[in-house]
């Protein structure tokens, strides 16, 4: 018998995270005591709309509005206590060590700055070099995310590119500073199937090659099961189950099963899609 | 109901839609699929009157469309955008957002219509007095659909209406769209990159690539192996692969 090696501290540690938003009648409990950790691996977070996936990701980056009440026994990134860190420490994490690829590119791209300049600035903030190198790096990043016409896109404004191109630009921008971790919040839901697969393969390659951690937030269960190592299934601010991604199709929880069943299928079309019958027991505090 | 004839669209010197033609019959749901940047949204936005630089023929309900659209057009043709963030006014509550089209088109009984619209898209009552930023992505898209439906349009242009939604709400919205087009005789054009979604709702669809339609086919052809164009076959293969 050999001694177990000292367990490496996880990149992300979340224990009993709660997030409440004030409303006129009291508080909306967006996240209700969830716990999970993330190493240099690919973790998928699935669950229906409003289940608290994005709020969880944003809490980790301390990007929630000041009105939000965030409590946790532990909320750490690489040992840094996110709830206690200084604003300066947080700025170094955001857009530096942690890249956030958002659900909606138009929302996070600056509308009055060309795409090329935005990527170049992200690169300059964390790399040594001049304007010329930055522009070259931006061009290379656009090529890496497989923009077909990178020179034109470099000088385009965000409203001049399609939704899918905007999403790829966001990914290029987030990769510019060489982050340790990516939080990808619905990174490909605006992309066509072929680009979606390409982008996720790209993210997967980059994550493995650079030894990054990935938190992939998505409502697309087949996609998550294909690209992640582990999956956390959320409902109404709680974790319903956690399982290896490749076993997703064998999920036991009725909620997860319901989600799998209500997708339209190309090979087996049905006139009507089954919808989810929500069991009140799922709202009870889990374990 | 909708006729698109040899449509070309330019942004400055850049032509992004080339010679696109298709017809949509009353009550039909027609699909548009194709890779990112292939021009799907541009075709839809041009029909909706949101893009200035086009030539070719466009007609809705037998009336040829010019560069300017009248108020009747905007009542009968409604669009739901890909992007539920940009399309909702950030400083208006859901209540205001839904009341506005009713005011614009002089429709009475706002109270009951708003309540019904929220129910139709399965939004909780408390959502009515929230602002868009206080809703999740999926909740926002449901507001956008409710707004499009509230003035009883006859044509609905849907640009990736469910791509920001989780699968359970997607199923509800797809069922909802199926019911509504039946009940209200809606004619729809549905843009999506998800072939299973298109196959579920559309009797016919066009496949776009590089601003052109490469193939128009019937829904059954997605399954019976008679799709002709290489790009269509590629999309079908990918969709099957993901279904596993
Ligand atoms: N700024 C806010 N103020 C008040 N409530 C909020 C705010 N942001 C989010 N919420 C609420 O918190 C809950 C969780 O939202 P969240 O955005 O995390 O959902 P999600 O799981 O990411 O959903 P989706 O798949 O639709 O993006 C929702 O009920 C939402 O309305
Ligand atoms: N306002 C604009 N100004 C200049 N170019 C534009 C504008 N809007 C779109 N384009 C260009 O037109 C082409 C088609 O874009 P469109 O948004 O129609 O694609 P799409 O098929 O909807 O793609 P996606 O699936 O990514 O949404 C792209 O090359 C895009 O850069
Ligand atoms: Mg979200
Ligand atoms: Mg589009």
Contact B174 A269 (CB under 8 A): no
Where along chain A do its domains lie? 98-178
**Best mutation target, A192, A225, A234, to test chain B (most B CBs within 10 A):** A192
Number of the ligand 2 atom closest to the C-alpha atom of B44: 18
pLDDT in the model for residue A170: 87
pLDDT the model gives residue B48: 94
Q: Is the pLDDT higher at A137 or at A166?
A: A137
Does B204 contact ligand 2 (Cβ within 6 A)?
no
Model confidence at A131, pLDDT cuts 50, 70, 90, reads very high
- pLDDT value of position A242: 95
Q: Residue A8's pLDDT is what?
A: 65
- Ligand 1 atom, smallest distance to B169 CA: 26
Residue B12 zone, left/alpha/beta (φ > 0; ψ -120 to 50; rest): left
**What does the pLDDT read at residue A3?**
45
Beta carbons of B167 and A263 less than 8 Å apart: yes
State the pLDDT at residue A190.
Answer: 61
Q: Please state, in angstroms and rounded to a whole number, the distance separating the CA atoms of residues A188 and A173.
A: 15
Digit-coded pLDDT (tens) for B179-227: 888 888 899 999 988 889 999 999 999 999 999 999 999 999 998 889 9
Distance CA B18, CA A226 (A): 36
From the CA of A52, give the closest atom in ligand 1. Answer: 18
**What average pLDDT does the structure give for chain A?**
88
pLDDT digits (tens, 9 = 90+) for A150-192: 999 999 999 898 877 887 888 888 888 889 999 998 877 666 6
Tell if the CB–CB gap between B36 and A162 is shorter than 8 Å.
Answer: yes
Which strands, in side-by-side order, build the sheet including A213-217? A98-101, A181-185, A213-217, A42-47, A230-235, A238-244
Of B172, B238, B240, the CB nearest to A267: B240
pLDDT above 80 for A78: yes
- Supply the pTM of this predicted model: 0.76
Between CA A59 and CA A268 the distance in angstroms is 40
Question: A104, A148, A154, A162: which to mutate for ligand 2, most atoms within 8 A of CB?
Answer: A162
Min Cα distance A71 → chain B (Å) is: 20
Residue ranges of domains in chain B, CATH in brackets: 2-193+201-215 (3.40.50.300)
Residue with tokens 């200035």: B52
**CB contact, 8 Å: A266 with chain B?**
yes
Quote the pLDDT of residue B72. 87
Chain A contact probe: residue of B39, B139, B167 with most A CBs at under 10 A:
B167
Write down the pLDDT at residue A98: 94
Between strands B2-11 and A238-244, the pairing is unpaired
Number of the ligand 1 atom closest to the C-alpha atom of A65 = 1
Residue of B nearest to A21 (CA): B134
Determine the distance separating the centroid of ligand 4 and the alpha carbon of A28, expressed in angstroms: 34
Do the Cβ atoms of A188 and B36 come closer than 8 Å? no
pLDDT over 60 (residue A115)? yes
Q: Which of B165, B197, B234 sits opposite A219 (nearest CB)?
A: B165
Beta bridge partners of A211: none
Residues of B in contact with A187 (CB under 8 A): none
For chain A, percent helix, then strand, then coil, each to nearest 5? 40, 25, 40
Separation of CA B117 from chain center: 18
Tokens of B69: 């659209």
In whole angstroms, give the CA distance from residue B63 to residue A74. Answer: 63
At A267-281, the pLDDT tens digits run 888 889 998 888 999
Greater model confidence, B244 or A244: A244
Q: How confident is the model at residue B83 (pLDDT cuts 50, 70, 90)?
A: low
Q: Please report the pLDDT score of residue B193 as a whole number.
A: 82
How many interface pairs between A and B have CB atoms less than 8 angstroms apart? 153
Q: How far is the CA of B165 from the centre of ligand 1 (A)?
A: 13
At B114-159, the pLDDT tens digits run 998 898 888 888 899 999 988 876 788 789 889 998 988 999 999 9
Whole-number pLDDT of residue A1: 42
Mean residue pLDDT across chain B = 89
Does residue B243 have a pLDDT over 80? no
* A273·B174 Cβ contact <8 A: yes
What integer is the mean pLDDT of A37-52? 91
- Nearest Cβ partner for B41 among A160, A162, A222: A162
Interface test with A, best of B80, B124, B168 (most A CBs within 10 A): B168
Q: pLDDT by residue (tens digit) across B106-124?
A: 888 999 999 988 988 888 8
Neighbours of ion ligand 4 (CB under 5 A): A 163; B 41
* B90, pLDDT greater than 70: yes
The answer to whether the Cβ–Cβ distance between A269 and B200 falls below 8 Å is: yes
pLDDT tens per residue, range A211-269: 899 999 987 888 888 889 999 999 999 999 999 999 988 899 999 999 989 989 888 88
User: Taking the C-alpha atoms of A90, A186, B129 and A108 in order, what is their torsion angle to the nearest 10 degrees?
Assistant: 50
Complex ipTM: 0.79
Q: Is A79 left (phi over 0), alpha (psi -120 to 50) or beta?
A: left
Alpha carbons within 13 angstroms on the beta-carbon side of residue B181 total: 23
* Ligand 4: centre distance to CA B174 (Å): 19
| pLDDT of the residue at B244 | 63
Residues 6+ apart with CB under 8 A from B229: B207, B214, B215
Q: pLDDT tens digits for B45-60?
A: 999 999 999 999 999 9
């Amino acid at each position: 018998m050999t001694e177990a090696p000292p367990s490496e501290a996880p990149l992300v540690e979340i224990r009993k995270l709660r997030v409440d938003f004030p409303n006129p009648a009291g508080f909306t409990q967006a996240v209700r005591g969830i716990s999970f950790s993330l190493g240099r691996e690919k973790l998928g977070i699935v669950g229906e709309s409003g289940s608290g996936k994005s709020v969880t990701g944003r809490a980790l980056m301390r990007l929630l509005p000041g009105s939000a009440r965030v409590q946790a026994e532990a909320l750490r990134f690489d040992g840094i206590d996110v709830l206690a860190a200084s604003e300066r420490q947080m700025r170094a994490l955001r857009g530096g060590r942690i890249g956030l690829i958002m659900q909606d590119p138009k929302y996070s791209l600056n509308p009055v700055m060309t795409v090329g300049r935005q990527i170049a600035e992200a690169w300059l903030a964390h790399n040594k070099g001049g304007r010329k190198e930055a522009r070259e790096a931006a061009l290379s990043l656009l090529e890496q995310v497989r923009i077909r016409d990178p020179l034109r896109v470099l000088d385009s404004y965000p409203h001049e590119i399609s939704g899918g191109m905007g999403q790829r630009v966001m990914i290029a921008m987030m990769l510019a500073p060489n982050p340790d971790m990516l939080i990808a919040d619905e990174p490909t839901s605006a992309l066509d199937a072929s680009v979606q697969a390409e982008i996720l393969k790209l993210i997967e390659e980059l994550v493995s090659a650079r030894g990054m951690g990935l938190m992939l937030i998505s409502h697309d269960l087949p996609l998550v099961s294909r690209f992640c190592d582990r999956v956390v299934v959320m409902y109404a601010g709680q974790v319903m189950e956690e399982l290896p991604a490749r076993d997703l199709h064998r999920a036991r929880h009725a909620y997860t099963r319901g989600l799998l069943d209500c997708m339209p299928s190309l090979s087996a079309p049905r006139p009507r899609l089954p919808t989810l019958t929500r069991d009140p027991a799922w709202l009870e505090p889990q374990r | 109901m909708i006729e698109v004839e040899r449509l070309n669209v330019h942004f400055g010197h850049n032509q992004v839609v080339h010679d696109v033609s298709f017809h949509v019959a009353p009550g039909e749901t027609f699909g548009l699929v194709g890779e990112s940047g292939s021009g799907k949204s541009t075709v839809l936005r041009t029909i909706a009157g949101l893009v200035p630089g086009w030539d070719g023929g466009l007609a809705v309900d037998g009336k040829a469309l010019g560069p300017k659209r009248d108020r009747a057009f905007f009542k009968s043709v409604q669009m739901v955008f890909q992007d539920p963030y940009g399309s909702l006014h950030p400083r208006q509550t859901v209540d205001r957002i839904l009341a506005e089209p009713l005011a614009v088109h002089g429709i009475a009984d706002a109270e009951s219509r708003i309540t019904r619209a929220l129910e139709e898209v399965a939004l909780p009552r408390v959502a009515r007095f929230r602002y868009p930023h206080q809703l999740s992505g999926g909740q926002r898209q449901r507001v956008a659909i409710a707004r499009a439906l509230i003035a009883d349009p006859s044509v609905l242009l849907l640009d990736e209406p469910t791509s920001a939604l989780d699968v359970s709400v997607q199923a509800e919205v797809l069922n909802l769209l199926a019911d509504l087009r039946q009940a209200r005789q809606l004619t729809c054009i549905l843009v999506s990159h998800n072939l299973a979604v298109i196959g579920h709702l559309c009797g016919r669809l066009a496949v776009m690539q590089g601003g052109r339609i490469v193939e128009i086919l019937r829904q059954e052809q997605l399954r019976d192996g008679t799709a002709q164009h290489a790009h269509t076959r590629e999309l079908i293969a990918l969709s099957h692969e993901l279904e596993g």
